[in-house]
Amino acid sequence: MATRKLNRRDFIGGLSQSVLSLLVLSRATQQLAASASQPTSVLVLGAGLSGLYTALLLEAKGLSVTVLEARDRVGGRVHTLHDIPGQPEAGGQSFSEKYERLVALAERLQVPLEPALGLDREMLLYVRQQALLPKDWAGAKANQLAANERNLVPPLLLNHYLRQNNPLQDATAWTKPEYADLDMPLADYLRSQGASTEALRLINFNPSSRTNSLETASALWALRNDQRGQNIGKQPSHIQDGNSRLPEKMAAALQSPVQMNKVVEAIRSLDRSVEVHCGDGSSFRADYVVVTLPFSVLREVEIMPRLPAVQSEAIKELNYTPVTQIRFTVREPFWEKDGYPPMMWTDSALQSIFPVRDRQGKVQSWVCWVSGEGAQKLDAMSARGLEQFVRSQLQQIRPGIEKTMEIVRVVSWGRDPYARGAYSHFGPGQIRRFQKQMAQPWQRIHFAGEHTAISSPGMESALESAERVAQEILSRIK
Distance CA(85)–CA(156), nearest Å, equals 30
Specify whether the CB–CB gap between 449 and 48 falls below 8 A: yes
How, if at all, do strands 363-371 and 352-357 pair?
Answer: antiparallel
Question: Of 189-197, 208-216, 431-439, 453-461, which part binds ligand FAD (CB under 6 A)?
Answer: 453-461
- Beta-carbon contacts of residue 19 (< 8 Å; ≥ 6 apart): 57, 101, 467
State in angstroms the smallest separation of the CB of 161 from ligand FAD. Answer: 22
Query: CB 261 → ligand FAD: shortest distance, Å?
Result: 9
319 near ligand FAD (CB under 6 A): no
| Residue type present at position 57 | L
Question: Which listed range, 48-56, 135-143, 338-346, 383-391, lies at the site for ligand FAD (CB under 6 A)?
Answer: 48-56
- Exactly one of 86, 88, 427, 457 binds ligand FAD (CB under 6 A); that residue is 457
For residues 398 and 451, which CB has a smaller minimum distance to ligand FAD in the complex? 451
- Amino acid identity, residue 253? A
Alpha-carbon separation of residue 290 from 118, 262, 302, 321, 327 (angstroms):
34, 15, 15, 24, 35
Taking the C-alpha atoms of residue 276 and residue 289, their distance in angstroms, rounded to an integer, is 8
Candidates 166-174, 204-212, 250-258, 411-419 — which segment interacts with ligand FAD by CB under 6 A? 411-419
Q: What is the DSSP string of 60-92?
A: HTT-EEEEE-SSSSS-TT--B-TTSTT--BSS-
Q: Is 449 in the site for ligand FAD (CB under 6 A)?
A: yes
Interaction of residue 47 with ligand FAD, rule CB under 6 A:
yes
- For residue 399, the minimal CB distance to ligand FAD (Å) is 29
Based on CB atoms, which residue is closest to ligand FAD, 39 or 48?
48
d(CA 177, CA 181): 8
Q: How far is the CB of 263 from ligand FAD (least distance, A)?
A: 5
Stretch that binds ligand FAD, among 103-111, 168-176, 259-267, 376-384 (CB under 6 A): 259-267
Sequence letter at residue 384: R
Pick out residues in 61-120 that bind ligand FAD (CB under 6 A): 68-71, 76-78, 91-95
Strands 264-269 and 302-304: parallel
Three-state secondary structure call for residue 453: coil
> Which residues make up the interface to ligand FAD (CB under 6 A)?
45-51, 68-71, 76-78, 91-95, 262-264, 292-294, 297, 323, 413, 418-419, 422-423, 449-450, 457-459, 461-462
